[in-house]
Amino acid sequence: MVKIYIDGQEGTTGLKILERFKDRNDIQLIRISEDKRKDSDERARLINSADFVFLCLPDDASREAVSFVDNDHVRIIDASTAHRTNPDWAYGFPELSPEHREKIRKSNRVAVPGCYASGFASIVYPLVKNNIISDDYPVFAYATSGYSGAGKKAIAVYESAEKPFEFNSPRQYALSQEHKHLPEMQVISGLKYKPMFNPIICDYFSGMVVSVPIQTRTLANAVTSEQVHEMYKNHYADAKLVEVMPFMSCEEQKKFFLASNTLSGLNKIQIFVFGDDEQILLCARLDNLGKGASGAAVQCLNIMMGIDETTGLV
């Protein structure tokens, strides 16, 4: 039985990880007393007494927590943005490639992907890897997301009786093109340049869709939408938690609505290929609290433990 400590267990991601452990009998949870949650000495003691530590903290607190480690056997799974582009850390998206999966399995340091970045990389990494787009392609992405990923304060506003009128509407943000997920979206996907990104927060709890449009006339090599779909099927053929959805005819697409909250509470990504051979729309649907956060963290733990990666997730 492995010992697990969650540093930041009262945050949205920490609580979700705890929830995913409730029926497991192969782990022992180490809990910190409420009055010592910010006690650095107690946190350090508990971190070094665990086999696996989840960091569900702001970036600076996450870096501080890593500095507490003085036991070579402690394996860290970090859900902050602090280490996602650090080459010394494994990036916690095993479906991207066999190399990603193997590095997670062996590593003592794993960075859990961001929710938007998970959707983005699931689409763009295979495009670059399979030479459908070049690494200097001008990528644009937009996304709709539930408000649960915005943190406790924002959740409280959305769920308040005094919710501002504007919060009833989808709201665009990160308009300065400096969203915190952009560095990992670029680095992990293999892009030379930062993509443009337009996130939109909406008045529902959880779930998101990340979309990337491609104008095929801008590509160096001709490709059809069906060929792109086949590429994704091959790329994710062995993935248990990434599902490439069936290719739809033009008439089927006309009748279809892509909701963003369909996978709320689930731990998988669905990949869609829409459009035609001139304009292709690529979409990734996921739960920002599931495969985009706590579910991804638990999946990485399972791989590091050498057990079925879907344990506690399906």
Residue written as token pair 């030379």: 192
In angstroms, the CA 14 to CA 38 distance is 15
Torsions phi, psi of 247, nearest 5? -75, 130
In angstroms, the CA 174 to CA 10 distance is 26
Q: What share of the chain is helix, strand, coil (3-state, %, to 5)?
A: 35, 20, 45
Spell 35-70 as b/e; 16+ CB within 10 A means b.
eeeeeeeebbebbeebbbbbbbbeeebbebbbebbe
In angstroms, the CA 96 to CA 93 distance is 6
Active site residues: 115
Helix (H) or strand (E) holding 276: none
Residue written as token pair 């399972």: 302
Order the strands of the 208-215 sheet from edge to edge: 171-172, 196-201, 140-145, 208-215, 279-286, 269-275, 242-244
* Region of 10 on the Ramachandran plot (φ > 0 left; ψ -120 to 50 alpha; else beta): alpha
In angstroms, the CA 106 to CA 35 distance is 35
